[in-house]
């Protein structure tokens, strides 16, 4: 399976009896941001296509154009292998309840096995009914604070985000070092230390002598923590030159 085929294997998003075009558009936009493209609508209240959906989808018009409409949930899920229902609250039936992150992990695993997967969302007013939930493998509930009032577009967004995140390799933290932003070598850093300490010594800042070692070490620690680029090391040395010159000038004047 190539990367394009894998992309097509992203979960289908099914909206059951959605009411507001705005929410359908918001769902499409959320999907496109996170690599989902197959949208299915079960009897949308205001018909299809829908101008308000198009306005809200912004650049994600392609998702709306290829969306398919079905008369009933059974038909929308017919050829799929794994379907998760999203619900806001517990429903009494004894179904497995997953977090979006756990669901995304399982959807990835199913996709890797070649299964077709989907996320099923209920409408704005009533969510999914119990019959629709009974057609699904498990339920996804988004953990929230006591105030729990996510709208349809928000629920699609968070699930789409978790799907993308489950295979995303973005490093948690990074600093972009372009050609002019390379890290300094240790020698360049040691030259900075020597330059700064020489001028601080000359200025009388490193006083009294018994504290000299501690003060120098503390200053070096500060500089290390800043993780300077080569460019920033050069800028800092320029600052030291300028400030030291000023001091000498004052001395000469005085």
Q: Which residues bind its own copies (CB under 8 A)?
A: 29-30, 32-35, 58-60, 90, 92, 94-99, 101-102, 105, 138, 142-145, 147-151, 154, 157-158, 161, 164-165, 168, 170-178, 181, 229, 231-232
Query: What's the min distance (Å) between Cβ of 200 and its own copies?
Result: 25
Query: What's the min distance (Å) between Cβ of 206 and its own copies?
Result: 29
Distance CA 120, CA 85 (A): 5
- The nearer residue to its own copies, 200 or 229, going by C-beta atoms, is 229
The pair of three-digit structure tokens given for residue 109, joined into one six-digit string: 């695993």
- The nearer residue to its own copies, 58 or 109, going by C-beta atoms, is 58
Query: CA of 160: how far to CAs of 12, 28, 44, 181, in Å?
Result: 10, 10, 21, 34
**DSSP structural state of residue 137:** S
Query: What's the min distance (Å) between Cβ of 91 and its own copies?
Result: 9
- The nearer residue to its own copies, 54 or 102, going by C-beta atoms, is 102
CB-based contact 62:37 (threshold 8 Å): yes
Q: At 38, is the secondary structure helix, strand, or coil?
A: coil
- The nearer residue to its own copies, 100 or 122, going by C-beta atoms, is 100
CB-based contact 135:27 (threshold 8 Å): no
Query: What's the min distance (Å) between Cβ of 196 and its own copies?
Result: 20
Distance CA 116, CA 105 (A): 14
- The nearer residue to its own copies, 165 or 211, going by C-beta atoms, is 165
- The nearer residue to its own copies, 124 or 197, going by C-beta atoms, is 124
Query: CA of 226: how far to CAs of 198, 214, 220, 221, 232, in Å?
Result: 21, 19, 10, 9, 10
- The nearer residue to its own copies, 193 or 230, going by C-beta atoms, is 230
Distance CA 69, CA 165 (A): 28
Query: What's the min distance (Å) between Cβ of 163 and its own copies?
Result: 10
Query: What's the min distance (Å) between Cβ of 93 and its own copies?
Result: 9
Helix (H) or strand (E) holding 199: helix 186-203
Distance CA 96, CA 139 (A): 6
Query: What's the min distance (Å) between Cβ of 8 and its own copies?
Result: 13
The pair of three-digit structure tokens given for residue 148, joined into one six-digit string: 């729990």
The pair of three-digit structure tokens given for residue 35, joined into one six-digit string: 């690599």
């Amino acid at each position: 399976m190539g990367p394009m085929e894998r992309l097509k294997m992203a979960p289908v998003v099914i909206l059951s009896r959605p009411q507001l075009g705005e929410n359908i558009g918001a769902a499409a936009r959320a999907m496109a941001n996170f690599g989902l493209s197959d949208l299915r609508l079960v009897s949308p209240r205001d018909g299809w296509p829908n101008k308000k959906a198009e306005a809200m989808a912004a650049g994600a018009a392609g998702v709306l154009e290829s969306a398919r409409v079905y008369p009933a949930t059974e038909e929308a899920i017919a050829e799929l292998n794994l379907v998760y229902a999203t619900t806001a609250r517990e429903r009494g039936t004894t179904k497995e309840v997953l977090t979006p992150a756990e669901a995304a992990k399982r959807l990835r695993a199913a996709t890797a096995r070649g299964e077709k997967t989907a996320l099923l969302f209920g409408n704005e007013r009533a969510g999914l009914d119990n019959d629709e939930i009974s057609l699904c493998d498990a339920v996804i509930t988004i953990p929230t604070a006591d105030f729990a009032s996510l709208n349809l577009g928000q629920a699609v967004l968070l699930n789409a985000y978790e799907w993308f995140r489950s295979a995303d390799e973005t490093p948690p933290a990074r600093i972009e070092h372009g050609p002019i932003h390379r890290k300094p070598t240790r020698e360049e850093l040691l030259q900075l230390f020597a330059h700064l300490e020489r001028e601080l010594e000359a200025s009388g800042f490193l006083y009294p002598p018994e504290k000299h070692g501690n003060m120098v070490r503390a200053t070096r620690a500060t500089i290390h923590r800043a993780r300077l680029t080569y460019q920033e090391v050069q800028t800092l040395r320029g600052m030291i030159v300028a400030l030291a010159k000023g001091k000498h000038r004052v001395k000469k004047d005085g």
